[in-house]
Chains A and B, each alone.
Chain A
Amino acid sequence: MFFHIVLERNMQLHPRHFGRNLRENLVAKLMKDVEGTCSGQHGFVVAITGIENIGKGLIRDGTGFVTFPVKYQCVVFRPFKGEILEAVVTMVNKMGFFAEAGPVQIFVSNHLIPDDMEFQSGDMPNYTTSDGSVKIQKDSEVRLKIIGTRVDATEIFCIGTIKDDFLGVINDPATA
């Protein structure tokens, strides 16, 4: 799920960036530092959308660097266990398939794929129902439920299931 939240960060700035462009410099550095990062707590920081407040700077002993506490609004993406979302299949193999929802990767192991879907190897490996009506292959769109997340300092990885009501291949992606 995407959220719009306010985060805070202490930014260190070299005195050479001071002056009338201080604020711009600070914000530019914030974007460079923060966007695209991932933390277990807040998920992926996708984009900074605004600055709430820049606090008083504090001169660091000995270096001349100044630390500014900056409060900023940003869009984050944070997957939750139990969340249901849509994703694009990126790879299919005998063990299951991988899918992507924005910055996060999700693995659905074959035992969490409905029992009536069988793996077919080949150029375009896929899982297909016995009557051939439903097929999961690269680039398919699926709705899945996240059942586990693995959070590292810089990455979040999820496992999901499509073995439940109203989960699975999205019938008509054209509605999007």
Chain B
Amino acid sequence: MLRADEEDASELKIGDDFLKAKCLMNSEVAILLEHRCDQMKHMSGDSTTQLPQVLEKSLQYVKRFSRFTNQGSVKQVREVLSRYQLAEFELAVIGNLCPENVEEAKSVVPSLKTKGRGHDDEAIERLLNDLLMIKKFE
């Protein structure tokens, strides 16, 4: 594990465990958690059952900040973004924030600017367009 002061998501320094782990976009988490909550309510047989706080707060959060709600388009987003040689973390940030232009994308995901990764502005532009299309047809 990284020491706290070495951690820096803008340089993808999030520790090996998390770098290898699968990052989830809010939209994906929303799907997973809703499923889990249904399961819980079903198990307790009471639809008004109190959810654990962390789960409840997370669910509220991802529902509020999901850019894509349709399960199909969420899947599509991941598929599309996967074509751009992004790190998991970068993919999720882009999917969560849906930057409107290249400048914004590079600002919220500074690691895109790292040299030699083949993310020229053109590629980023295409990526953002792809996202926009999915959004449009959701």
Interface residues of A (CB under 8 A from B): 1-5, 35-36, 38, 41-42, 44-47, 49, 75, 77-78, 80-86, 88, 100-103, 141, 143, 146, 149, 151, 164-166, 175-176
Contact = CB atoms under 8 A, between A and B. Distances in A.
Contacts, number: 128
Nearest to A84: B108
A75 B18 contact: no
Interface stretch (B1-9, B71-79, B116-124): B1-9
Given A38-B54, A102-B57, A146-B9, 19 more contacts: A1-B24, A1-B89, A2-B23, A2-B92, A3-B22, A3-B23, A5-B17, A36-B53, A36-B55, A75-B24, A75-B29, A82-B8, A82-B13, A85-B96, A88-B64, A102-B61, A143-B108, A149-B4, A166-B107
Chain A interface main SS type:
strand
Interface of B: 1, 4, 7-11, 13-14, 17-18, 21-26, 28-29, 32-33, 36, 52-55, 57-58, 61-62, 64-67, 89, 92-93, 96-99, 103-104, 107-109
Which of A5, A77, A81, A165 gathers the greatest number of chain B CB atoms within 10 Å?
A81
24 contacts: A1-B89, A2-B26, A3-B22, A4-B21, A35-B55, A46-B33, A46-B54, A46-B55, A47-B36, A49-B36, A77-B54, A77-B58, A80-B7, A81-B4, A81-B7, A83-B93, A84-B93, A84-B108, A88-B64, A100-B61, A102-B57, A102-B61, A103-B54, A164-B107
